Amino acid sequence: MEQTPTGQDADNHDKELVSIDASFEPLIPKFLSNRKKEVTVMQDALSAQDFDTVRKISHGMKGAGGSYGFDRVTEIAAVIERAAKAADIRAIQQKLPELESYLSRVEIVYE
């Protein structure tokens, strides 16, 4: 997808540039793929009001995200985890699309 000089793609979606330790590169495709799958699983769980599943997945994501260098994943997952503990459907409904969008826009710079 072409990008404008400001880091936007051709559809004018802002890219999220993330600096990642170059030694982690072999693990990144699986990491991102798993996070995207987990968004879907959490969406399905939320539809069934299965807050325990949302809590468990977001808890694991909270720990993994920042460890890889994706601090925003940890931030959003922490909010989802707290919301799941409180059975706050609305908060989770707000955050899951945000997480999904972030994962689709992230662009990695290996350092």
Partner 1 sequence: MNDQLSTNKPQLLLVEDESDTADLVKLIMEGQGYQVTHVADGGEAEQMIALMPPPSLVVLDIQLPNTDGIALLEMIRAIPEWSNVPVVMLTAVSDEQRIRKIFSLNIQGYVLKPFNRETLINQVEPFRTTAPQAD
Q: How far apart are CA 24 and CA 22, in angstroms?
A: 5
Q: 73 vs 92, which CB is nearer to partner 1?
A: 73
> Is the CB of 46 or the CB of 68 nearer to partner 1?
68
Least Å distance between CB 12 and partner 1? 31
Q: How far is the CB of 20 from partner 1 (least distance, A)?
A: 11
Which residue carries 């992230």 as its tokens? 106
Is residue 77 exposed (0-12), middle (13-18) or buried (19+ Cβ within 10 Å)? Answer: buried
Binding residues vs partner 1 (CB under 8 A): 21, 23-24, 26-27, 30-31, 34, 59-60, 62-68, 71, 74
- Cβ distance to partner 1 smaller for residue 51 or 68: 68
Nearest to 92 by CA among 57, 40, 42, 38: 42
Min separation Cβ 98 and partner 1, Å: 19
CB-CB contact of 68 with 62 (8 Å):
no
Least distance from partner 1 to the Cβ atom of residue 44, Å: 20
